[in-house]
């Protein structure tokens, strides 16, 4: 008698009983769907209906007397997991759960389903592509970008457990001008072998090259600027001064590399022109340009893979933006858009009229846009015939929909407008179903207090640095608490504790809220952190190890303490939380849930003996409860990619 979702059994029973009473008492009233809420006070039961407040007006009766009548009309033979139903307050109907039966059902179900428990399967399994991370291959992944893979990977784990077929995609943006900048610098240095982690190495080349090229450009602009107004000159001078100070900073940090690049780049009369030429050559698929840019991009991506391996993240597909340019796909999408009534030409530039699509296809309600929310047009093709980022993304999205029913893009909310325009473009092309299933999972930025992160300027804290620091701090913590362990054991533990802490900290906050990065926040080892939950899991394991027996004869009716009952309720509700997290794409719910469960278990641990309980039957019941809790902690941690250790 195992059930996938114990608490929903109880809810279903409440629904059945209340529906039956309604049919009997008020046959003329039709209710679409009964909903229940969890009472604020546990003395009011485990589920409550506020139905009578709504019905009261309609049938001109007081809510409370209606509640009383409904309870009287209930068929008590339908009570299995319900202990009693009672009218309460000004007109609630409270349902009290029968713990003697429910504890047994829940604990046994969990122990039976083990690592499958909680992962209620969807009725509508889909093929879903989750595109996440997609950091440009120009510099290491920094902490501001690291929230993306943490969220994306957790979403992937959650939706996969829900029964969907998930494919994790990384979109490599190698077509932009920036890629040509770094490739230009790399070539100027004669393609050196990295002297450090390859993405860090590429990042240095990128920052210095970009800075030198920028200074060169501004100087030339100033030389040619006799005719322009003086405020423009002032502006150029200000910009130049800024870049010169960045150059000084970079020269101080990387003197050798800086000098070499300066020497080489100075040989070019116009480096900017060289870069633009390289960019065009790459888009045209010229073999030499292809080889060069792919080489430097691969170098950087190699570093990304190393970083993601550390945190247990992998991808199923690495998609090169350039492949879509070189093949006919971007061109095809363009041609189809061009013949639609939504594209117009202005000064030799192709513009996409998103607003017109919305009007003609009446998309405003569907997209949830207000009446006065005007969506600006999107430039598709430059005057020189080359395409823009979002344009190429249209072709890429169509390609993704060849492989999947649904596409979820984990992309910062600063790109909300571009993502919206992209979605509208899919409607314009007639891909209505696809557009409906195109989801921009937007997340807010990670900022550093009093510090403006800028990859162009080389101002960032890399994700690797954060991981290193987290592991180092975890190592100190382990050494302090478990001095008896060997160095190797301490290292192993520090690794999953430090990394768990970072993963947890970056999914724990609602994705739409901004996160201010502080070391204290990310490297928290106390309550409401991965280490806290990991510790709790290890503690549960420790009890089970010490007990050294399977609970042969548990008597669940002995679990009468409020703490035990609360724990049963929490673990029986895990499938509900899991379903909510997957349906509404809210991985933070899992983090909150697992922390709340750990909290309650620690209180229980402190208050009631498991192994040395008064009787063998009670001890067995508590061992079984501890087993069930351990399973749920582990399953929940897995969803956010945090290791559940047996010892730490």
Site residues for RNA, 394-413, by CB under 7 A, read 413
- Give CA–CA dist 620/626, Å, rounded: 10
Residues of this chain, 490-509, that bind RNA according to CB under 7 A: 493, 497, 508-509
Residue whose CB is less far from RNA, 165 or 349: 349
Q: Count the neighbouring beta carbons within 10 Å of the beta carbon of residue 460.
A: 23
* Residue 376 touches RNA, criterion: CB under 7 A: yes
Angle, helix 177-188 to helix 271-283, in steps of 10 degrees: 120
Q: Locate 278 and state its tokens.
A: 């390289």
- Give CA–CA dist 521/114, Å, rounded: 33
- Give CA–CA dist 10/82, Å, rounded: 7
* Residue 454 touches RNA, criterion: CB under 7 A: no
Judged by CB under 7 A, the residue of 516, 549, 550, 615 near RNA is 516
- Give CA–CA dist 26/343, Å, rounded: 58
Judged by CB under 7 A, the residue of 3, 8, 25, 53 near RNA is 53
Residues that bind RNA (rule: CB under 7 A) add up to a total of 97
Residues of this chain, 554-593, that bind RNA according to CB under 7 A: 580, 583-584, 586, 588-589, 592
> Least CB distance from residue 54 to RNA, whole Å?
5
* Residue 607 touches RNA, criterion: CB under 7 A: yes
- Owner of token pair 């000004």: 90
- Give CA–CA dist 467/463, Å, rounded: 6
If DSSP states are collapsed to H, E and C, what string results for 594-641? HHHHHHHHHHHHHHCCCCCCCCHHHHHHHHHHHHHHHHHHHHHHHHCC
Site string for RNA, 609-648 (x = CB under 7 A): xxxx---------------------------------xxx
* Residue 177 touches RNA, criterion: CB under 7 A: yes
Judged by CB under 7 A, the residue of 28, 231, 372, 614 near RNA is 372
Judged by CB under 7 A, the residue of 106, 109, 178, 572 near RNA is 178
> Are 139 and 210 within 8 A, CB to CB?
no
* Residue 515 touches RNA, criterion: CB under 7 A: yes
* Residue 345 touches RNA, criterion: CB under 7 A: no
Residue whose CB is less far from RNA, 362 or 584: 584
Q: Locate 612 and state its tokens.
A: 């040395």
Judged by CB under 7 A, the residue of 109, 136, 167, 627 near RNA is 136
Q: Count the neighbouring beta carbons within 10 Å of the beta carbon of residue 268.
A: 15
* Cα distance from N-terminal residue to C-terminal residue, the chain: 35
> Least CB distance from residue 190 to RNA, whole Å?
26
- Give CA–CA dist 566/601, Å, rounded: 10
Judged by CB under 7 A, the residue of 102, 258, 324, 525 near RNA is 525
> Are 395 and 117 within 8 A, CB to CB?
no
* Residue 374 touches RNA, criterion: CB under 7 A: yes
Judged by CB under 7 A, the residue of 2, 23, 31, 35 near RNA is 35
Judged by CB under 7 A, the residue of 305, 457, 521, 565 near RNA is 521
* Residue 180 touches RNA, criterion: CB under 7 A: no
What's the chain's Rg over C-alpha atoms? 30
* Residue 510 touches RNA, criterion: CB under 7 A: yes
* Residue 79 touches RNA, criterion: CB under 7 A: no
> Least CB distance from residue 88 to RNA, whole Å?
4
> Least CB distance from residue 267 to RNA, whole Å?
26
Question: Which residues in 628-645 are b (16+ Cβ under 10 Å) and which e?
Answer: bbbbbbbbbbbbbbbbbb
DSSP track, 32-82: S----B--SSGGG-SEEE-HHHHHHHHHT--HHHHHHHHHHHS-GGG-SSE
> Least CB distance from residue 205 to RNA, whole Å?
18
Residue whose CB is less far from RNA, 317 or 416: 416
Residue whose CB is less far from RNA, 8 or 379: 379
* Residue 514 touches RNA, criterion: CB under 7 A: yes
* Residue 246 touches RNA, criterion: CB under 7 A: no
């Amino acid at each position: 008698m195992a059930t996938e979702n114990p608490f929903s059994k109880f809810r279903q029973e409440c629904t059945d009983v209340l529906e039956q009473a309604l049919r009997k008492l008020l046959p003329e009233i039709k209710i679409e769907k009964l909903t229940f809420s969890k009472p604020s006070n546990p003395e009011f039961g485990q589920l409550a209906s506020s139905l009578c407040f709504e019905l009261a007006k309609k049938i001109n009766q007081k809510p409370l007397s209606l509640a009383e009548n409904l309870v009287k009309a209930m068929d008590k033979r339908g009570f299995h997991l319900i202990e009693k139903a009672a009218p309460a307050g000004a007109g609630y109907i409270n349902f009290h759960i029968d713990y003697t039966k429910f504890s047994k059902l829940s604990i046994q179900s969990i122990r039976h389903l083990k690592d499958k428990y909680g992962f209620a399967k969807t009725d509508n399994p889909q093929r879903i592509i989750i595109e996440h991370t997609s950091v440009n291959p120009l510099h290491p992944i920094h902490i501001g970008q690291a929230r993306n893979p943490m969220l994306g990977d957790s979403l992937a784990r959650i939706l996969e457990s829900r029964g969907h077929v998930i494919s994790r995609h990384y979109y490599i943006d190698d077509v932009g001008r920036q890629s040509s900048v770094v490739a230009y610098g790399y070539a100027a240095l004669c393609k050196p072998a990295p002297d450090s982690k390859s993405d860090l190495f590429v990042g240095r080349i990128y920052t210095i090259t970009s800075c030198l090229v920028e200074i060169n450009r501004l100087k030339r602009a100033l030389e040619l600027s006799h005719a322009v107004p003086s405020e423009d000159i002032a502006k150029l001078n200000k910009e130049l001064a800024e870049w010169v100070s960045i150059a000084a900073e970079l020269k101080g940090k990387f003197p050798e590399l800086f000098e070499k690049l300066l020497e080489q780049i100075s040989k070019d009369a116009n480096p900017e022109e060289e870069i633009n030429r390289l960019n065009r050559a790459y888009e045209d698929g010229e073999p030499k340009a292809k080889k060069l840019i792919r080489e430097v991009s691969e170098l950087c991506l190699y570093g990304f893979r190393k970083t993601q391996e550390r945190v247990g993240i992998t991808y199923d597909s690495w998609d090169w933006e350039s492949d879509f340019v070189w093949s006919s796909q971007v061109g095809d999408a363009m041609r189809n858009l061009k013949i639609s009534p939504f594209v117009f030409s202005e000064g030799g530039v192709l513009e996409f009229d998103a607003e017109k699509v919305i009007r003609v296809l009446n998309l405003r309600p569907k997209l949830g846009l207000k009446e006065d929310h005007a969506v600006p047009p999107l430039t598709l093709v430059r005057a020189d015939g080359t395409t823009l980022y979002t344009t190429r993304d249209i072709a890429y999205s169509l390609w993704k929909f060849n492989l999947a029913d649904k596409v979820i893009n984990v992309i910062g909310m600063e790109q909300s407008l571009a993502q919206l325009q992209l979605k509208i473009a899919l409607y314009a092309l007639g891909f209505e179903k696809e557009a409906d299933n195109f989801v921009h999972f937007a997340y807010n930025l990670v900022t550093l207090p009093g510090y403006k992160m800028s990859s162009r300027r080389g101002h960032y804290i890399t994700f690797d640095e954060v991981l290193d620091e987290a592991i180092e701090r975890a190592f100190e913590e382990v050494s302090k608490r478990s001095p008896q362990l060997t160095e190797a054991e301490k290292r192993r533990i520090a690794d999953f504790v430090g990394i768990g802490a970072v993963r947890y900290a970056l999914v724990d906050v609602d994705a739409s809220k901004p996160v201010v990065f502080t070391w204290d926040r990310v490297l928290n080892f106390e309550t409401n952190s991965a280490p806290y939950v990991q510790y709790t899991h290890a503690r549960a394991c420790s009890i089970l190890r010490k007990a050294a027996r399977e609970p042969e004869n548990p008597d669940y009716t002995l679990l009468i303490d409020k703490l035990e009952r609360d724990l049963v309720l929490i673990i029986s509700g895990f499938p509900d939380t899991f379903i909510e997290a997957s349906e509404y794409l809210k991985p933070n719910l899992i983090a909150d849930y697992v922390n709340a469960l750990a909290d309650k278990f620690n209180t229980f641990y402190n208050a009631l003996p498991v192994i040395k309980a008064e009787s063998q039957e009670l001890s067995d019941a508590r061992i079984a409860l501890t087993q069930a809790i351990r399973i749920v902690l582990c399953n929940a941690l897995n969803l956010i990619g945090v290791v559940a250790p047996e010892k730490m």
